[in-house]
């Protein structure tokens, strides 16, 4: 029997980039096929071609043995292909039913919407696959995990039997990921075929029937979880051996460097985003802050680095009150900051690498003498740092905007790590980076810790927090749910805390 | 811990501070009625409200309402104070409704005081309020059509002006050059105005959708273009040939039975066809926007165009169609000024009504009937100020002009609260 879907020699060129280079792929009926690859490997481009958002330059698509021309999403929908986008395509002020029927509305008398009919069909689909979604609920009131199920319902409502999920777990808590996997298994057991795009090795091993690895727009190989291991997959993705776990010795915590007392911070809309947080970070230890994005971590880091005023509470760095200090004053106390959004807050994109490397020290000797920049010293220092931190750039005069994400991040790390620092505040330091760069940055952070630097690591990636931290603080709705020692904390425990379950209840369920 | 204030706030679902502010506003309204109006009014004077427009109206005659001025004012003041006290002590569940009641009481008190010792035609006031609200409501409706699919139409003013000019010119040509009978020539003027509005709408759509020009700038350009062209042509053509600026107007049509209802009959059901058209349009757009496939798609395009696009909804086509329709409705608003009201074109005669319409749309939370309600308040304020000038009220006319707007602002700020536009409003859509 012909495969449900077959891609043959798909090639797509963008100006200067070969995004897809003769990619061939088959999808069998009822299969969960993982498409694994780093950012920029061409996964999303390939799927956008399949969904009719891009046109391929070469290659053919066969659906159930028939040659298919997919020019626009409507064609894909007609062929039974549906896609759950990384950023949900849901209208927040519409109900579930309105979102689901948009584009294929049930109507009475030719024009009037028939919401009841849609609701009936959504209930039926919801029951069949165990989705548990209320068709009358407004999207904006639903948690992210449920919104994702609405996206899946949208596909099933259109009778899609080839489902593409683009990085579906990026926004979910570990428990929600488990729920999603249950749903995916239910779908595949009832004959739906699924393409699962991700760069997370653990998920691939847990859910996939087959795995195809992409690198630089090419298929590196296809395998199954039984025949491979995480290490092997990582090597296929990156093209060399990668250490997945950071080697680290037990921490030797010293004196407290950062002390936060009952800190409160408002967000942009005037809501209290951080609601009374207290903790300390000591020299020589990594404190990781875990939590689903949007639970006050951003505002917490901004307050600590002086970028956002505190609404209440106090911040001490090396026993000095810096609650109302300016960002430069905080910097000069020996604080390094790797910001969450490197392009917006970490770099001046149009500046050359060399200038970005001295953004926080340019006014000090040796870079400036009596208020005048010394270009030669700046350039010489930049050459040295670029070599030392392995920044891949044509020259130190290249604008950082033309570097890859991983190399941009290395520029920030090089700038922040190469001055004497006592406290490192790293917010999502590996966001969007490939496995190779992640390994590098993790190793650097642990090095800093071992030099006696205090590290506050904020990340929504639970694996990263668990890997690097000595203690883990879990944030939920602006508060710290609990601070746990990393060696005894379990993923389940942290996941429940991240979802808002209280510490006592977690112990009760676990024990 | 729960203070009485928290209980008050909780009952109405608003913040404590807001609930308390309401209470004080109510009290202040009561006190002002007492101090400003009731105080110093000679005892024994009466205010007469005439409730029949007179003339040829078919409404069943009802007697005039004669009220003892001072007693009425005392009652109204006490009502406000009582409601304020209740709000402070216990809190109302539907506090916005009470606020509207207070505003109404204040306006009635003002009229009672202003017309004390005289008689005042209330139906006349309401009739004039509705007529002045029609172009504003239509402008607001035009805004609703455009912004619901996320195109900001700041060019409504220019579209109205163009519609008005075209209606005057083409209506006059049909009536005075081709010698068509009145209904046909007026209809010709009207249809021409609709076409002119649609063309400008299409122009805005092309600029905003096809060329992704900043919508505020595109709209402003259209406004300047419309002002320039109509002023030029009006000076060159209409001023030279007076018979080209005399299209006549639609005569009022009394709807049988309905027009016999006291008060409401003469206000609503003895109007010209364009007023009825506005009501039909309001209802039609409301139903289409919220109960049809077209409406669902329009709203989706306004809130999340990419989501709509991935589901096969044509974002660009939706915007072209809606903005063109919006232009048409703005053209209708302009035509109303000529064919339903004044009967001749003057330079810059829209005088900001398009912008006030946009304000009405925002106050009305981007809904047809909301915009109409807001337009009624603006129309009422406008009508009141002209009528009061006739009554020779002993306060400077500048304050007269201001007072209704002040009340309007307080009511709107209080009742409406935060206005949330469609999420993608004003953003051009880029295909991936």
- Tell me the pLDDT tens digit for each residue of A89-105: 999 999 999 999 998 89
Q: Which of A98-107, A169-178, B127-136, B248-257 has the lowest mean pLDDT?
A: A169-178
Percent of chain A with pLDDT strictly greater than 70 = 99
pLDDT band at B10 (very low <50, low <70, confident <90, very high): very low
Query: What residue has token string 């991935």?
Result: B310
Give the residue with greater pLDDT, B99 vs B169.
Answer: B169
The predicted structure's pLDDT at residue B16 = 67
Q: Do B307 and A90 touch (CB under 8 A)?
A: yes
Q: Which of A161-165, A507-511, B369-373 has the lowest mean pLDDT?
A: A507-511
pLDDT band at B428 (very low <50, low <70, confident <90, very high): confident
Q: How many CB pairs under 8 A join A and B?
A: 66
Q: Which of A55-59, A279-283, A285-289, B377-381 has the lowest mean pLDDT?
A: B377-381
Q: Tally Cβ neighbours within 10 Å of residue A59.
A: 17
Contact A297, A439 (CB under 8 A): no
Q: What's the rounded Cα separation, in Å, for the pair A59 and A6?
A: 11
Q: What's the rounded Cα separation, in Å, for the pair A413 and A407?
A: 10
Mean pLDDT of B132-154: 96
**Nearest residue of chain A to residue B312 (CA atoms):** A74
Q: Which of A245-259, B3-17, B36-50, B229-243 has the highest mean pLDDT?
A: B229-243
- The 10s digit of each residue's pLDDT in A376-431 is 999 999 999 999 888 888 889 989 988 877 788 889 999 999 888 999 999 988 87
Spell out which residues of chain B touch residue A107, defining contact as CB-CB under 8 Å.
292-293
Q: What's the rounded Cα separation, in Å, for the pair A429 and A469?
A: 13
Mean pLDDT of B301-329: 94
pLDDT band at A160 (very low <50, low <70, confident <90, very high): very high
Give the residue with greater pLDDT, B5 vs A426.
Answer: A426
**Which residues of A touch chain B, with CB atoms under 8 Å apart?**
48, 51, 53-54, 72-74, 77, 83, 85, 89-94, 98-99, 101-105, 107, 111-113, 154
Contacts of B175 (CB under 8 A, 6+ apart): B182, B185, B186, B246, B247, B248
3-class SS of residue B140: helix
Residue B301, chain A, CB below 8 Å: the answer is no
Spell out which residues of chain A touch residue B303, defining contact as CB-CB under 8 Å.
91-94
**Buried b or exposed e, range A491-511, using 16+ CB within 10 angstroms:** eebbbbbbbebeeeebeeeee
Give the mean pLDDT of chain A: 90
Residue among B165, B163, B157, B164 at smallest CA distance from B223: B157
The predicted structure's pLDDT at residue A447 = 92
- Say whether pLDDT at B83 is over 60: yes
Q: Do A103 and B308 touch (CB under 8 A)?
A: yes
- Say whether pLDDT at A344 is over 60: yes
- Say whether pLDDT at B51 is over 80: yes
Residue among A350, A412, A418 at smallest CA distance from A384: A418
Output helix, strand, coil percentages for chain A, rounded to the nearest 5. 35, 25, 40
- The 10s digit of each residue's pLDDT in A201-249 is 888 999 999 999 998 889 999 999 999 998 899 889 888 777 777 788 8
Q: Order of strands across the sheet with A272-282?
A: A272-282, A256-266, A312-317, A320-321
**Buried b or exposed e, range A264-299, using 16+ CB within 10 angstroms:** bbbbeeeebbbbebebbbbbbbbbbbbbbeebbbbb
Residue B286, chain A, CB below 8 Å: the answer is no
Which run of H or E residues covers position B300? helix B293-303
The predicted structure's pLDDT at residue A505 = 79
- The 10s digit of each residue's pLDDT in B332-356 is 999 999 999 889 999 989 888 999 8
pLDDT band at B11 (very low <50, low <70, confident <90, very high): very low
Q: Do B297 and A85 touch (CB under 8 A)?
A: no
Contact A96, A150 (CB under 8 A): yes
Q: Which two tokens stand for residue A495?
A: 């996941």
The residues with which A378 forms a beta bridge, in sequence order, are none
Backbone φ and ψ for A161, nearest 5 degrees, come out as: -120, 0
The predicted structure's pLDDT at residue A397 = 92
Q: What's the rounded Cα separation, in Å, for the pair A148 and A273?
A: 25
Contacts of B407 (CB under 8 A, 6+ apart): B103, B106, B107, B381
Contact A113, A193 (CB under 8 A): no
Q: In angstroms, what separates the C-alpha of A103 from chain B's closest C-alpha?
A: 6
Spell out which residues of chain A touch residue B309, defining contact as CB-CB under 8 Å.
73
Q: Do B299 and A74 touch (CB under 8 A)?
A: no
- Say whether pLDDT at A61 is over 90: yes
The predicted structure's pLDDT at residue B115 = 85
The predicted structure's pLDDT at residue A274 = 93
Residue among A32, A505, A480 at smallest CA distance from A289: A480
Contact B282, B268 (CB under 8 A): no
3-class SS of residue A303: helix
Top residue of B149, B296, B421 to mutate, by most chain A CBs within 10 Å, is: B296
Q: Do B310 and A102 touch (CB under 8 A)?
A: no
- The ipTM, to two decimals, is 0.84
Q: In angstroms, what separates the C-alpha of A50 from chain B's closest C-alpha?
A: 13
Q: Which two tokens stand for residue A506?
A: 């977690």
Residue B399: Cβ-neighbour burial (10 angstroms; 0-12, 13-18, 19+)? exposed
Q: What's the rounded Cα separation, in Å, for the pair B230 and A151?
A: 51
3-class SS of residue A34: strand
Q: What's the rounded Cα separation, in Å, for the pair A21 and B295?
A: 43
Residue B316, chain A, CB below 8 Å: the answer is no
Domain(s) labelled CATH 1.10.3470 in chain B stretch across 123-415
Spell out which residues of chain B touch residue A94, defining contact as CB-CB under 8 Å.
299-300, 303
Residue A56 backbone zone (phi > 0: left; psi -120 to 50: alpha; other: beta): beta
- Say whether pLDDT at B404 is over 60: no
Top residue of A100, A102, A150, A157 to mutate, by most chain B CBs within 10 Å, is: A102
Q: In angstroms, what separates the C-alpha of B419 from chain A's closest C-alpha?
A: 14
- Say whether pLDDT at A269 is over 80: no
Residue among A389, A434, A439, A437 at smallest CA distance from A415: A389
pLDDT band at B408 (very low <50, low <70, confident <90, very high): low
3-class SS of residue B26: helix
Q: What's the rounded Cα separation, in Å, for the pair A20 and A212?
A: 14
Q: Do B299 and A77 touch (CB under 8 A)?
A: no
- CA separation (Å) from B103 to B21, B71, B186? 15, 19, 40
- The 10s digit of each residue's pLDDT in A308-317 is 999 999 999 9
Contact A453, A424 (CB under 8 A): yes
3-class SS of residue A14: strand
**Buried b or exposed e, range A226-237, using 16+ CB within 10 angstroms:** eebebeebbbbb
Residue A20: Cβ-neighbour burial (10 angstroms; 0-12, 13-18, 19+)? buried
Own/partner pairs for B381-389, CB < 8 Å, 24+ apart? B381/B405, B381/B407, B381/B408, B382/B129, B382/B132, B383/B125, B383/B126, B383/B128, B383/B129, B383/B131, B383/B132, B384/B107, B384/B125, B384/B129, B386/B128, B387/B120, B387/B124, B387/B125, B387/B128, B388/B114
- The 10s digit of each residue's pLDDT in A418-466 is 888 999 999 988 876 777 788 888 999 999 999 999 999 999 888 889 9
Per-residue DSSP letter, A352: B
Q: Tally Cβ neighbours within 10 Å of residue B71.
A: 14
pLDDT band at B4 (very low <50, low <70, confident <90, very high): very low
- Say whether pLDDT at B147 is over 50: yes
Top residue of B15, B149, B302, B307 to mutate, by most chain A CBs within 10 Å, is: B307
Contact B306, B312 (CB under 8 A): no
- Say whether pLDDT at A364 is over 80: yes
| Apex A440 CA angle, A439 and A446, nearest 5 | 90
Own/partner pairs for B2-8, CB < 8 Å, 24+ apart? B4/B89, B7/B91, B8/B87, B8/B88, B8/B89, B8/B90, B8/B91
Q: What's the rounded Cα separation, in Å, for the pair A362 and A374?
A: 9
- Say whether pLDDT at A474 is over 70: yes
Q: Do B293 and A111 touch (CB under 8 A)?
A: yes
Q: Do B307 and A91 touch (CB under 8 A)?
A: yes
Mean pLDDT of B145-163: 96
The predicted structure's pLDDT at residue B9 = 44
**Nearest residue of chain A to residue B306 (CA atoms):** A89
pTM above 0.80, yes or no: no
Contact B142, B327 (CB under 8 A): yes
Give the architecture (CATH level 2) of B123-415: Orthogonal Bundle (1.10)
Q: Order of strands across the sheet with B119-121?
A: B65-68, B46-50, B119-121
Q: Do A92 and B304 touch (CB under 8 A)?
A: yes
Residue B300, chain A, CB below 8 Å: the answer is yes
Q: Which two tokens stand for residue A9?
A: 């020699």
Nearest beta carbon to residue B300 from set A53, A77, A91: A91
Q: Which of A111-115, A130-134, A166-170, A381-385 has the lowest mean pLDDT?
A: A166-170
Q: Tally Cβ neighbours within 10 Å of residue B426.
A: 15
Q: What's the rounded Cα separation, in Å, for the pair A152 and A135?
A: 13
Query: What residue has token string 């053919």?
Result: A60
Residue B421, chain A, CB below 8 Å: the answer is no
Q: Do B311 and A54 touch (CB under 8 A)?
A: no
Q: In angstroms, what separates the C-alpha of B89 from chain A's closest C-alpha?
A: 29
**Nearest residue of chain B to residue A52 (CA atoms):** B310
Give the mean pLDDT of chain B: 87
Spell out which residues of chain A touch residue B296, defining contact as CB-CB under 8 Å.
98, 101-102, 105, 113
Q: Do A103 and B311 touch (CB under 8 A)?
A: yes
Per-residue DSSP letter, A345: I
């Amino acid at each position: 029997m012909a495969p449900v879907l077959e891609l043959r020699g798909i090639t797509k060129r963008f100006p200067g980039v070969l995004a897809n280079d003769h990619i061939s792929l088959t999808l069998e009926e009822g299969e969960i096929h993982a498409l694994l690859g780093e950012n920029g490997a061409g996964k999303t481009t390939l799927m956008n071609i399949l969904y009719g958002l891009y046109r391929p330059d070469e290659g053919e698509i066969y659906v159930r043995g028939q040659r298919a021309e997919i020019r626009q999403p409507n064609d894909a929908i007609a062929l039974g292909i549906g896609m759950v986008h990384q950023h949900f395509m849901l209208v927040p002020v519409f109900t579930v039913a309105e979102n689901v029927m948009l584009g294929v509305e049930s109507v009475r008398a030719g024009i009037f919407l028939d919401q009841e009919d849609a609701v009936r069909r959504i209930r039926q689909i919801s029951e069949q696959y165990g989705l548990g979604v209320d068709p009358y609920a407004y999207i904006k009131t639903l948690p992210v995990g449920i919104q994702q199920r609405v996206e899946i319902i949208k596909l099933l409502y259109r009778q899609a039997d080839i489902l593409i999920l683009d990085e579906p777990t990026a926004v979910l808590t570990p428990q929600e990921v488990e729920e999603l996997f249950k749903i995916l298994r239910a779908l595949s057991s009832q004959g739906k075929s699924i393409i699962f795009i991700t760069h997370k090795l653990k998920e691939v091993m847990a859910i996939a029937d087959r795995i195809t690895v992409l690198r630089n727009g090419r298929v590196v190989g296809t395998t199954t979880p039984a025949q491979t291991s995480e290490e092997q997959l990582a090597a296929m993705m990156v093209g060399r051996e990668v250490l997945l776990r950071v080697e680290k010795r037990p921490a030797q915590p010293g004196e407290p460097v950062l002390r936060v007392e009952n800190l409160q911070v408002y967000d942009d809309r005037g809501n209290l985003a951080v609601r009374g947080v207290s903790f300390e970070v000591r020299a020589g230890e990594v404190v990781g802050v875990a939590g689903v994005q949007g639970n006050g971590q951003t505002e917490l880091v901004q307050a600590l680095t002086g970028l956002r005023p505190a609404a209440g509470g106090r911040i001490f760095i090396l026993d000095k009150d810096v609650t109302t200090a300016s960002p430069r004053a905080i910097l000069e106390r020996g604080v390094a900051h790797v910001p969450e959004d490197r392009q917006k807050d970490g770099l001046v994109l149009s500046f050359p690498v060399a200038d970005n490397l001295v953004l926080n020290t340019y006014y000090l000797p040796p870079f400036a003498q009596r208020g005048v920049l010394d270009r030669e010293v700046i350039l010489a220092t930049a050459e040295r740092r670029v070599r030392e931190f392995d920044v891949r750039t044509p020259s130190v005069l290249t604008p950082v905007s033309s570097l890859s994400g991983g190399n941009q991040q290395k520029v920030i790390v090089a700038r922040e790590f190469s001055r004497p620092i006592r406290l490192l505040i790293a917010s999502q330091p590996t966001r969007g980076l490939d496995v190779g760069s992640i390994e590098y940055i993790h190793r650097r952070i642990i090095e800093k810790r071992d030099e006696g630097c205090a590290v506050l690591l904020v990340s929504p990636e639970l694996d990263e927090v668990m890997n690097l931290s000595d203690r883990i603080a879990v944030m939920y709705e602006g508060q710290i749910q609990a601070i746990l020692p990393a060696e005894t904390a379990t993923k389940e425990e942290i996941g429940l805390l991240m979802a808002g379950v209280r510490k006592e209840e977690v112990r009760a369920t676990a024990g | 811990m729960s203070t009485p204030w928290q209980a008050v706030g909780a009952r109405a679902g608003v913040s404590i501070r807001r609930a308390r502010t309401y209470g004080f506003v109510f009290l202040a309204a009561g006190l002002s009625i007492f101090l400003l109006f009731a105080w110093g009014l000679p005892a024994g004077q009466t205010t007469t409200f005439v409730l029949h427009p007179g003339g040829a109206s078919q409404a069943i005659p009802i007697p005039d309402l004669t009220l003892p001025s001072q007693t009425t004012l005392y009652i109204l003041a006490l009502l406000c104070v009582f409601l304020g006290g209740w709000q402070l002590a216990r809190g109302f569940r539907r506090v916005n409704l009470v606020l509207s009641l207070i505003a109404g009481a204040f306006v009635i008190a003002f009229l009672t005081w202003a017309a004390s010792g005289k008689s005042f035609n209330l139906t006349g006031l309401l009739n004039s309020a509705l007529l002045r609200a029609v172009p504003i409501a239509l402008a607001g409706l035009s805004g609703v059509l455009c912004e619901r699919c996320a195109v900001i139409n700041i060019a409504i003013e220019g579209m109205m002006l163009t519609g008005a000019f075209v209606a005057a010119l083409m209506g006059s040509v049909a009536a005075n050059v081709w010698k068509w009978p009145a209904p046909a020539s007026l209809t010709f003027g009207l249809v021409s105005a609709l076409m002119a509005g649609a063309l400008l709408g299409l122009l805005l759509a092309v600029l905003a959708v096809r060329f992704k020009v900043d919508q505020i700038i595109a709209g402003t350009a259209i406004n300047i273009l419309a002002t320039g062209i109509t002023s030029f042509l009006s000076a060159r053509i209409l001023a030279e040939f007076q018979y080209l600026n005399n299209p006549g107007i639609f005569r009022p049509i009394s709807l049988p039975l309905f027009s016999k209802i006291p008060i409401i009959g003469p206000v609503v059901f003895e109007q010209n066809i364009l007023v009825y058209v506005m009501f039909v349009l309001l209802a039609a757009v409301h139903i289409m926007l919220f109960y049809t496939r077209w409406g669902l798609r329009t709203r989706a395009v306004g809130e999340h165009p990419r989501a709509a696009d991935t589901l096969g909804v044509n974002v660009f086509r939706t915007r072209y169609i809606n903005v063109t329709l919006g232009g048409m409705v703005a053209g209708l608003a302009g035509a109303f000024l000529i064919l339903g009201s004044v009967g001749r074109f003057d330079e810059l005669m829209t005088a900001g009504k398009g912008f006030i319409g946009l304000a009405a749309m925002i106050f009305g939370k981007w809904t047809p009937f909301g915009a109409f309600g807001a337009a009624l308040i603006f129309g009422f304020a406008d009508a009141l100020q002209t009528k009061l000038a006739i009554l020779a009220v002993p306060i400077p006319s500048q304050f007269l002009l201001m007072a209704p707007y002040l009340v309007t602002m307080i009511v709107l700020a209080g009742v409406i609260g935060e206005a949330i536009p469609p999420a993608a409003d004003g953003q051009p859509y880029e295909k991936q």
